[in-house]
A and B are shown apart, each in its own frame.
Chain A
Amino acid sequence: MDFSLTDEQSELQAAVGRLFDEHATSAAVRAAEPLGFSSALWRRLGDLGIPDMASSAATDGAPATMSQLIVVAEEYGRRLAPVPLLESVTAFRALDRAGVDIPESGIVTIALRPADRNGSLSLLGAGAVADRAVALINDALVLTDLAGEPGEGFLSNLGSSPIATRDPGTQQTVLSAGAKARPVFELAVGDWKVLLSAALVGLAGEAHRMTVAYVKERKAFGVPIGWFQTVAHRLADSVNDLDGARFLVHKAAWAIDNDDKTAARLTSMAYSYSTSLAGRITSECLHFHGGIGYTLEHDIQLYFRRAAAWPLALGDPRSELATLSTKMFGERRKR
């Protein structure tokens, strides 16, 4: 048992952190709104080997582990980086599992929800910038191109994410078909859940850090507002909860990397816990900023909006408790 980052994880964290500190500043994040995509930042990430690191083919058979990818995802969340990182990494891992090489160019995303009745991929994450998608279509998991051009169908949204409803194109490679398709798809969704959880830990952690700094500076009634116990105690609870969420994410990633039988259960736990925690902590952090917190001038609103929006990509996160209970207790027996 080891609760410290490995040297590899620390180095990765430092490298990605440096890049984001420099190029995913609040000004850059704001400039990329409302689409939520910076092609310059995406190129720089590419130069650093991200997201290709998730692919076997692109790394001579030594792809990054989930334990490494969550470190990148946490930094991404911390800086609200306007790039389709989680979607690309999840898609690359899905391609890897099927033994399919990643496309030479273009952005690949993942459709977390199956195609709808009309065959459309509705509110597709990174859909406004992607060229291809891994998607479950007619009970087959495929890599499909997308009809129309990137940018088409963009819907401005609370989280300033490049969401668009897109139709699958005609060039499709089957990754998995028949009875296996669904479980293979679920593995990809599980990867995304853990990556999103890591991103939310980074996001909420940064909102918390900003707020702790603010309540030490900001004075009311002649004292720093962090002196008041209702403020201090809630921030103390939150830092504890954040530790818990981070450990759950790391343990889930460890379990996935090691094919441990607890992987599915821990994935559900990490996702359920961090989705609810991120909303609660960012609301609280905005609140402790007082009036300035709800102005668009202050950065805390950038965090508040994304903490609310990101978890909805897959649907109501509350339903994860039902998923978790199935993993813990099996299917429900009806009388």
Chain B
Amino acid sequence: MEFSVPNQADDFREQVRAFFAEAYPDALRGRRFERPHDKEFFRAVLRWQRQHLADRDAYETSAFFQEAAQAGIELTTHAPTRMIAETLEQIGTDQQKAEVAPRLREGDYLIALGLTEPDAGSDLAAARTRAVRQGDNWLINGEKIYTSNAQHATHVFLLTRTNTEAPKHNGLTVFLVPIDAPGVEVRPLHTLAYHHTNMTLYRDVHVPDSARIGEVDGGWEVMKVALSREQAGEGSTDLHELVRQAILWAEQAEAPNCDRMIDDPIVRERIARAAIDLEVATLLAQRSAWATATGVEKNPGWGPGSKLFETEAYARAAADFFSMVGPAAVIPFEEEGTVSGGWFNYCLRDSPVRLIGGGVSEVMREIVAERRLGLPRARPK
């Protein structure tokens, strides 16, 4: 194994910092926790990633996201759009490859994922949102929950049921539904972590057959391609920033029995323990990025394992640091007297979201147990 930091890694970080300093709109600064959105910045990030991050190695991929976090920038809107662009490039029709994928790459389109349904939770294949063929069109009715970023999106990557007779995985079809199509409604769903996600409702929505991705009833195959892109490993960013904030805090905060909090043996050991978790989380994420970059076949347990470790470690550190910094940790970021710009308060609120969103921990463990360890499948098919 080999862990060299690439040549000119510092130059690269400098380049990333300069990009964020220039491209990030001033009006959005200081509002990271609310996940603010700016169309031009969204396009600029996709363009920059395409030009400067495409052939970079795992170290640089994580450096990009770390620098974003350090600059107080949240990049949650980008991953789904890039993921669907890659999916279309891999399995789209000629028309989708030529006309749709480039618009995703350019950031003309922004994708929200319409997967989970109110009655289905983690069981994505149980989707009941119906799509029925009507000549050259499809008629869609149903509802999705946790359609994050739908308020900014141009399209929803929508998982629907087209066959009620077939086993559940064989009756699904995916569409790219314009958010402004008549009958689509976006309803905000406010979360513990300041930002909001959405419910999206679909009432007699008509889309042409050209909006279909993959085969009719072949939606689960499309999902596999898309989700394999999702887990390509950008992880450990939040934990990285949380540990960095804890060190900054401890180096400045006054302590009752020693010079600064960082001189307190218990405080420094708590941060050191989280720093080990951070190193492990970073290595697990870098393995996925390395495999993606080099074309090494990934074990199906790597991506889920990485997501599981990072978010669990983040939740542990968030809870631990929240109490470590003392009573003012309860003050949110927009109030006077908040600690460290509200980071510890935010992370405590955000960590339950991370443990669930993008694949709940228990399902990640299921995948590792079943597909990596070969243990018998516990959940019903």
Contact = CB atoms under 8 A, between A and B. Distances in A.
A294 interface: no
A321 B373 contact: no
A233 interface: yes
A204 B279 CA distance: 20
B1 A254 contact: yes
A273 interface: yes
Interface string A77-101: 0000000000000000000000000
Contact of B375 (A212, A269, A273): A212
A229 interface: yes
Interface in B342-381: 362, 364-366, 368-370, 372-376, 378
B373 A333 contact: no
A49 interface: no
B290 A1 contact: yes
B4 interface: yes
Chain B interface bracket (under 10, 10 to 19, 20 to 34, 35 or more): 35 or more
Contact of A239 (B257, B272, B373, B376): B373
Nearest to A334: B258
A40 interface: no
B273 interface: yes
Nearest to A237: B365
A322 B262 CA distance: 12
B188 interface: no
Task: Pick the most buried of A216, A229, A235, A329: most chain B CB atoms within 10 A of its CB.
Answer: A329
Contact of A244 (B251, B263, B280, B373): B280
Interface in A302-335: 321-322, 324-325, 328-329, 332-335
A245 B290 CA distance: 18
A243 B284 contact: yes
Interface string A144-185: 000000000000000000000000000000000000000000
A333 B280 CA distance: 29
A226 interface: yes
Given A235-B375, A237-B365, A255 B3 contact: yes
A108 B250 CA distance: 45
B284 A216 contact: no
A325 B271 contact: yes
A294 to B, nearest CB: 23
A227 B1 contact: no
Interface string B294-328: 10100001000100110000000000000000000
B283 A251 contact: yes
Given A224-B376, A235-B369, A244 B284 contact: yes
Contact of A321 (B59, B269, B284): B269
Instruction: Say whether chain B's binding surface is mostly helix, strand, loop, or mixed.
Output: helix
B263 A233 contact: no
B308 A228 contact: no
Given A232-B366, A240-B284, A324-B272, A334 B259 contact: yes
A315 to B, nearest CB: 16
Interface in A241-285: 241, 243-245, 247-248, 250-251, 254-255, 258, 266, 269, 272-273
A20 to B, nearest CB: 21
A227 B269 contact: no
Nearest to B362: A233
B259 to A, nearest CB: 4
A333 B279 contact: no
A216 B280 contact: no
B268 interface: yes
A329 B1 contact: no
A273 B280 CA distance: 9
A3 interface: yes
Contact of B308 (A216, A240, A247, A333): A240
Contacts of B85: none
A302 to B, nearest CB: 22
Given A239-B368, A248-B279, A332 B1 contact: no
A105 interface: no
A237 B301 CA distance: 11
A1 B272 CA distance: 25
B263 A250 contact: no
B58 interface: yes
Given A236-B369, A273-B276, A325-B269, A247 B284 contact: yes
A56 B260 CA distance: 46
Task: Pick the most buried of A215, A233, A245, A333: most chain B CB atoms within 10 A of its CB.
Answer: A233
B369 A216 contact: no
A118 interface: no
A67 interface: yes
Task: Pick the most buried of A1, A9, A215, A232: most chain B CB atoms within 10 A of its CB.
Answer: A1
Contacts of B375: 212, 215-216, 224, 226-227, 232, 235
Task: Pick the most buried of A212, A240, A269: most chain B CB atoms within 10 A of its CB.
Answer: A240
Contacts of B273: 321
A205 to B, nearest CB: 13
Given A1-B59, A216-B374, A333-B258, A272 B276 contact: yes
A2 interface: yes
Given A251-B1, A322-B265, A332-B265, A4 B296 contact: yes
Contacts of B271: 325, 328-329
B291 interface: yes
B305 A232 contact: no
A335 B365 CA distance: 47
Contacts of A329: 247, 250-251, 262, 268, 271
A254 B271 CA distance: 24
Interface in A211-225: 212, 215-216, 223-224
A248 B280 contact: yes
A191 to B, nearest CB: 18
B287 A3 contact: yes
Contacts of B281: 244
B5 to A, nearest CB: 9
Given A1-B290, A329-B268, 6 more contacts: A1-B4, A2-B294, A226-B373, A233-B365, A239-B372, A254-B3
For the complex of A and B, 9 pairs with smallest distance between CB atoms: A244-B280, A325-B268, A236-B368, A232-B369, A333-B259, A2-B2, A247-B283, A233-B365, A236-B365
Interface of A: 1-6, 9, 67, 212, 215-216, 223-224, 226-229, 232-233, 235-237, 239-241, 243-245, 247-248, 250-251, 254-255, 258, 266, 269, 272-273, 321-322, 324-325, 328-329, 332-335
23 contacts: A1-B3, A2-B2, A3-B291, A6-B1, A212-B374, A216-B375, A226-B369, A227-B375, A227-B376, A233-B369, A236-B365, A236-B368, A237-B365, A243-B305, A248-B276, A248-B279, A269-B276, A321-B269, A322-B265, A324-B276, A325-B268, A333-B263, A334-B263
